[in-house]
Amino acid sequence: MAEPLTGTAPKVAFLAVAVLDDRTLLAWSTAQGAQVELDGVRAALSKRQMRDVAVGKHYNFSTNGQTWHVVGDERGLLFVAVTVVSYPLRHASGLLTELASQINGRIADKALAVQMEGGLNTDAKNILAKLITKYSDLSRVDQLHSTMTKVIRFF
């Protein structure tokens, strides 16, 4: 069984929304205490590194002690999460699904119209920050982790 991912280090370090076609970063948020360089994000998402991104397919890769999770949608957006390596894939997938749902439900039309780096940071700031907080505490998204956290706190 996987460890419950307890402790104070951010489990979800970074979230972003980008344009699938040209990989422009429209919005991003970094967890408090996490270090993610935007130049590194641009490089990792570049067409040189990720030539083809199939809509709906969850891509993940690990580097420098972090795992990157990327999924593209039918509207032409990319959703990105950077987590600790031990972060469960099912929760990373759930995070990206919820991120896509919230962006598409609230500001997707603006996202597709803006097409400028950072152009959605103001509109997406609260969405990204809330999802980082929610998914960094797995006891909020998974009953098993909630129980394990309670057991660990008891001892």
Please report the pLDDT score of residue 113 as a whole number: 87
Number of domains in the chain: 1
> Both tokens of residue 122?
């103001």
CA atoms within 13 A on the CB side of 131: 30
pLDDT tens column, 116-150: 999 999 999 999 999 999 999 888 776 544 444 44
pLDDT tens column, 17-63: 999 999 999 999 999 999 899 999 999 999 999 988 999 999 999 98
CA-nearest of 36, 1, 33 to 15 is: 36
Tell me whether residue 69 is in a domain. yes
Q: What's the CA gap between 70 and 17, in Å, rounded?
A: 10
CATH of the domain at 98: 3.30.450.50
Tell me whether residue 35 is in a domain. yes
Tell me whether residue 112 is in a domain. yes
Q: Give me the domain span that covers residue 138.
A: 12-154
Tell me whether residue 105 is in a domain. yes
How far from 112 is each of 22, 103, 152, CA to CA, in Å?
A: 12, 11, 45
Tell me whether residue 100 is in a domain. yes
pLDDT tens column, 58-113: 999 998 889 999 999 999 999 999 999 999 999 999 999 999 999 998 888 888 88
Tell me whether residue 66 is in a domain. yes
Tell me whether residue 7 is in a domain. no
pTM of the model: 0.85
Tell me whether residue 1 is in a domain. no
